[in-house]
Every structure is written in C-alpha cells, then in structure tokens.
C-alpha cells in the first residue's frame, strides 16, 4: 500500500522544481532534486523525476515515503507502460515530453536510460542493455520499439520498410479531401527545422505521408496518418504544408495549443519478429486529451 505523505494542487503553470521550492517550506533546492531523483514525487499519479517537468493548472502532486518510492521503482522502475516484451524486443508507450534517447544536456530523463535501468533491475547479474531502433519526437507520444541485442537491432532496421507505422494527429482545420497522399523532398537547416524543397538535392530526402480523416468538429480534425517513409518531423511538415498544422505545433505554424502539448500519437506498429518472422502488431489507444480537443 502506498503512503501519500502530502498533496499539492497546482493553480498556475510552472516548472515542477520551482513549484516545490515555493510550496515546500524548509526544503532546499538540492534536497528537492534528491527527492525527485529517487522517485518520491508523483504528478497526477505518475512518478516524475525531471525537475523541469511543466505543470499545468489542475495537476495534483503527491509525495511518497522513501519505502514506497523504492517499491514503486522496483515494480518496474518506469513511469510509462511496457506494451510487449520478450527475449529480443521491448515495446513501450512513450509519454509526451520524454526524450527517446539522451542529448548532450539530458542523459537520464529518456526512455533509453529508464529501460536500461529497468532491464538491469530484472537481470540476475545486474546487466541489461537496450538498442535504439527508431525514435519519436520528444513532444510526440506513443509506441516505440527497442531491441535487447545488436542482432535484433540490425534485423529490425534492415526490414524497417516492412513495418507499418500509424499515428493519430489532431489538426487545426479540416482537410478538403477525406483521404490524401503528400509527397515532397525535405531538408533540415542549421536550426534543426525541417522544410520542403522544390527540387531534389544531395541534402534532401524523399518523404511520403498518407492520411485519412476519422472525425472533425469544424475547428479541428482527427487524422489517421500512415508513414510510407520515416523522415524527421515528416508528419508535422506535411500537415503544415497542407495548411492544417498539428495543434500545439508552433514550430510548424500552429496557432492553438488547447492541451498544452503536440497532438501527435504513434498508435500502431506492425512488424515481422526478427527471430520468428511472425507479424507482431502493437496498438495504443487515442489519448484522452485528444478527445477533449474534438469536443471544443
């Protein structure tokens, strides 16, 4: 049984560390960072260790005792769902805001780091590794597959063209065509912004996206998007080029952000198992906040 030591209600947008400094009298910044590191803080029932986690009005923060925080970490050590796991693969449902892999400035608050710790906890010898097969943008959510060994990684990447990848995207406005195909060549500039180019070049890469309208309310549309190619920011650029950027995607022209996140979710992965050849299909349900947009 989890013992909740204290509960805080969030009334204004802020970073988690700043909020705790303001509302936890007597606790210094170093102590709060330590509490976060050891998984003693939950936001809306989910353990959060990132001190720059963005809080929204209505969020609830609670604190676990050291004993219960440790028990939570031992249970999975994860603050996201493992959809599937066997001796070769592990498929997870990544939350929005979490990096797939580390950067120069952020090493630990990533799916890769957390899965590595999870596998080490499970193993008899304290060893465990995962290998990155593909990535999701930090602001996107949904299914990501990792390999547990190099042979599986190479097999998955070699046959990645056979993988079916589908996303839910909520766009501003409604596309004229209920189904469509977008093809263009994409380049990335020095600011890491991807954009369409009119002519193919050595730097550009061909990108093809298919979409199908599922629902709309006049202001917003829910699309089922299938990737034929897998380029960086491909869906975001292509939907923006259609004149219907994804809500929350200010980088590519969105004017609204009703749920304070990018409304893009990887909901379907179907791929041949690298060892058995069996087609494995994984799905993730439509995030509840997406439903809220469609009711606006």
Q: Which residues are catalytic?
A: 137
In terms of Cα–Cα distance, which of 64, 53, 45, 56 is closest to 10? 56
Within 58-204, strands assigned E span 60-64, 81-85, 89-94, 131-132, 141-147, 164-172, 179-188, 194-197
CB 214 within 8 A of CB 169: no
As a whole number of Å, the CA-based R_g of the chain is 20
Within 95-248, strands assigned E span 131-132, 141-147, 164-172, 179-188, 194-197, 205-216, 220-227
d(CA 155, CA 296): 44
Other beta carbons within 10 Å of 113: 16
């Amino acid at each position: 049984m989890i013992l909740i030591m204290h509960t805080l209600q969030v009334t204004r947008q802020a970073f988690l560390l700043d909020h705790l400094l303001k509302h936890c009298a007597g606790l210094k910044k170093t102590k709060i960072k330590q509490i976060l590191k050891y998984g003693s803080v939950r936001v809306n029932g989910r353990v959060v260790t990132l001190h720059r986690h963005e809080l929204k009005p209505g969020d609830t923060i609670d604190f676990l005792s050291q004993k219960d925080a440790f028990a939570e970490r031992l249970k999975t050590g994860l603050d996201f769902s493992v959809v599937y796991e066997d001796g070769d693969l592990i498929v997870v449902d990544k939350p929005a805001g979490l990096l797939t892999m580390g950067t120069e400035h952020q090493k630990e608050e990533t799916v890769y780091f957390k899965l590595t710790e999870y596998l080490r906890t499970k193993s008899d010898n304290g060893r465990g590794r995962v290998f990155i097969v593909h990535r999701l943008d930090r602001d996107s959510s949904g299914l990501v597959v990792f390999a547990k060994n190099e042979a599986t990684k190479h097999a998955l990447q070699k046959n990645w063209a056979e993988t079916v990848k589908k996303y839910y995207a909520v766009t501003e406005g409604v596309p004229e065509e209920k189904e469509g195909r977008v093809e263009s060549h994409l380049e990335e500039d020095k600011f890491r912004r991807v954009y369409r180019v009119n002519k193919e070049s050595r730097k550009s890469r061909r990108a093809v996206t298919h979409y199908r309208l599922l629902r709309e309310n006049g202001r917003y549309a829910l699309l089922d998007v299938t990737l034929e190619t897998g380029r960086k920011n491909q869906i975001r650029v292509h939907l923006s080029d259609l004149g219907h950027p994804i809500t929350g995607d200010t980088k590519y022209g969105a004017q609204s952000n009703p749920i304070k996140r990018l409304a893009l979710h990887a909901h379907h992965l179907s791929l041949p198992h690298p060892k058995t050849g069996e087609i494995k299909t994984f799905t993730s349900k439509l995030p509840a906040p997406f439903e809220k947009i469609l009711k606006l």
